[in-house]
Structure 1
């Protein structure tokens, strides 16, 4: 269909109301974005809710699609070549069906599948086909299992996670790393958000002043916001390492007083606070832009009237600037809280001990290193609920207007 979509309806008369025609045209134009949002935002959110009540393991999704040569697998299991076996009686006592399927076929079985195999797997037919040389072919694990299962074939056609109900959520209460990661995340948020917000206000006030070089000043402090997190992490790794820049400066200043270099990132007592300092430095310039936009809307007449009344610079800041920046302050606090609760990349790049991990990093560990996608999904839901609750409290108890 070429041209404006609304013309498509005009050619077909007035049977479509103008408002309806306009709405349909709008949805047609917006359909690419809607489809992308549905596929990459809405669908993953729905699946997280589903996976959080299962034992879903992404490492097992392909277990029934793996190629298999049954003859070679049986020969490996028995330790005998097919041409050396004359009858089923010779090998029947040596054949353990569960061991064969789990270790030689390579299927990780749950309890339901084990019971089904013991009841319905046709070992006799399998061994007869082996002796007759019918198994020297390549097939998938699913094809092999459905061929020799008399019943319950659906258990082996494709991977289906088991529903565990609230099991994943109950598991959290006994997981020490959940408590450690949540505490670290909340501590990180409580320290970083107020400092970066106040520092961003100060930077914005300075950037809003009419002095020489202010444009260069703005660029310098905004630069970390557009720099790759990986690059910033690498720079701070060089700064924080034991032979790094920071220790050299401190040794030069306090070496005569017995100062010894500290491995800032590998010491559990200093690692998380080092990341906090890096995050404050890298995000304050970004939020500075938000406050700078707010400062542009404050009338100069307010400051001029305050000067006439004899107000000092500090009084103007506390009585005029901050109150009129309340909407921006609330926005920065909310966005800063969300960002800090989700902090991952700096922890991933720089932290090597489990005592300083955050909840986002622990979700990643479970999902992509341990293969516990179901448990990771339940952790993600808990993090989502915490962020929503904190955001609600901020919106409820921090007024936008003075």
Structure 2
């Protein structure tokens, strides 16, 4: 019976594992192999160069600056998104206390959940188009038009949101946060609904404030969900290709403007791979991105690991 069971399980796993190896593991191995060559992308002839591409990477000022930009996104995107999502989820599930009947969400909580989740329905390409209109560098842009109406900006000298070196990263960060808060709000709301209301009501009877209820009850019981959200948002921060390439076209191919001030690792990689024809060099960048993402995931999971709380 046991042998038959193993044969049955193996039969089900064989095809999925084979497909995973062919379409996921094998491309990774190919990329690493190409990163050790001077492959140009178009030809099938290439020369083995060893670790030369990796040595060049850490002398490439554009790529090093792109890593720094990814680190900034890595710090701010998860922190801001998770804090906002936790706050809104808490208010929608346990923020209303005015009516008799214990702990409840604010009035209209279901409508607010739909409203906050709506940006998640839109693809990043559509968001890029929408926010290009928002960030237009003339009076026709939503932000500049509003600031001009309020008299905060001169109509002849509007703000160049996506062309200011010190502003472009924050403009992109705002788009990612706006897009992601709704999804994690729903995720945290689903987790909060599994928390017994008796716990909140006992805290209210003991005189706990909203801040104390959040930090002493909600956050510890949601830590597994927060940990998962942090890993996923970290991976988003390590990518950013779609928004940067779609919203910052100043550098020509694959965005990165002004003057590389919005470049991230993925845009530098694609520019070298498809535009400059340095495919082996770009594969080395891809390997570095993979290793950094794996290290990030492991460190995040270990750093945020806590003893599981049962309720």
TM-score, reference length from structure 1: 0.67
Q: Deviations over 1:310-363 (max 9, x none)?
A: 111222112211122111111111111111112211001001212211011111
CA contact (8 A) 1:367 1:373 kept: yes
Q: Given that residues 330 and 400 in structure 1 are in contact (C-alpha distance below 8 angstroms), is that contact kept between their aligned partners in structure 2?
A: no
> Who is 2:279 aligned against?
373
Task: Tell me the distance in 2 between the aligned counterparts of 1:19 and 1:55.
Answer: 52
Q: Does the 8 Å CA contact 1:193/1:333 hold for their aligned counterparts?
A: yes
User: How big is the shift at 1:396?
Assistant: 2.2
Aligned residues: 287
**Cα shift readout 1:159-199 (whole Å, capped 9, x = no counterpart):** 33211100000111221111110011111111111001101
1:187 counterpart (72, 80, 103): 72
1:36 matched to 2:19? The reply is yes
The structure 2 residue matched to 1:246, chosen from 143, 163, 176, is 143
Contact 1:250 1:259 in 2 (8 A): no
Question: 1:122-167 CA deviation, whole Å, 9 max, x = no partner?
Answer: xxxxxxxxxxxxxxxxxxxxxxxxxxxxxxxxxxxxx332111000
Unpaired segments ≥5 residues, structure 1: 1-17, 61-158
Aligned to 1:10: none
Aligned to 1:237, which of 123, 129, 132? 132
Give the deviation of 1:203 after TM superposition: 2.0
Q: Quick check: 1:339 aligned with 2:224?
A: no
Q: Does 1:224 find its partner at 2:119?
A: yes
In 1, Cα distance between equivalents of 2:267 and 2:183 = 24
2:97 aligned residue:
none
User: Structure 1 residues 51 and 319 mapped into 2: Cα distance closer, same or farther (>3 Å)?
Assistant: same
Shift of residue 373 of structure 1?
1.8
1:388 deviates by 2.1
Unaligned residue ranges in structure 2 (runs of 5+): 95-104, 250-256
The root-mean-square deviation of aligned C-alpha atoms, in Å, is 2.0
SS of 1:54's partner is coil
Distance 1:320 1:190 in 2: 25
Structure 2 residue aligned with 1:201: 86
277-286 or 383-392: bigger deviation:
383-392
Equivalent runs, 1:71-86 vs 2, <5 Å: none
Query: Secondary structure at the residue paired with 2:243?
Result: helix
Aligned counterparts, 1:136-155, within 5 A: none
| Aligned-partner Cα distance in 2 for 1:55–1:326 | 46
Q: Is 2:117–2:183's contact at 8 Å kept on the other side of the alignment?
A: yes
CA drift at 1:268:
2.2
Q: CA deviation at 1:205?
A: 1.4
Q: Secondary structure at the match of 2:261?
A: helix
Q: Establish whether residue 261 from structure 1 lines up as the match of residue 244 from structure 2.
A: no
Change (3 A) 1:367 1:19: farther
Q: Distance in 1 between matches of 2:18 and 2:90?
A: 42
Tell me which residue corresponds to 2:263: 357
Residues 258 and 228 from structure 1, CA distance in 2 versus in 1: closer, same or farther, beyond 3 angstroms?
closer
Determine the C-alpha separation between the residues in 1 that align with 2:8 and 2:305: 40
Which of these residues, 53, 57, 61, is aligned with residue 172 of structure 1?
57
Task: Name the CA distance, whole Å, in 2 between partners of 1:259 and 1:391.
Answer: 47
**Partners of 2:26 and 2:305 in 1: CA distance:** 35
2:45 is the counterpart of 1:160: yes
